[in-house]
Amino acid sequence: MARIIIIYPETTLYTHELSVRVKDLNIGNHLAHDSVISLLHEARAQFFEANNMSELDVEGYGIIMADIGVNYKAEAYFGQMLAVEITLGDFSSKGCDMYYRMSCKETGTVVAIAKTGLVFFDYEAKKPVAVPQSFLDIVK
């Protein structure tokens, strides 16, 4: 069976820390796969906030998710502090990939590596738009 392989780029642009909540656990009493995605979303929203933007307002445009891929590497448990590192890459005219590396803050163990495809979107016109300059400036 073919596996998704995600390589986290070298440079981290932003790190957000959060803890594993009781509601994030699955029947195996560790971090659930769907909660990983929710925690990545929280980190992404904080990344935009830290750059004086939001997922709905980057120079008046929003983003939509084109795809997501996750490599699960290790378990995480209730109360553990996680660090979610974020960087950007693979830019096109209308979007890019956002990469995530989720690690246990105490041990450094990588819990997950992920990527989401971001497309910049004009919600009024219902069409993709060029990547705003202020977003491009984040990686400079």
| This prediction's pTM | 0.96
pLDDT at residue number 49? 98
pLDDT at residue number 140? 83
pLDDT at residue number 71? 97
Domain 14-139 belongs to what topology? Thiol Ester Dehydrase; Chain A (3.10.129)
Token pair 């491009």 is found at: 136
- What would the pLDDT profile of 74-106 be if each residue is shown by its tens digit? 999 999 999 999 999 999 999 999 999 999 999
Please state the length of the chain: 140
Buried b (16+ CB within 10 A) or exposed e, 56-93: eebeebebeeeeeebeeeeebeeebebbbbbbbeeeee
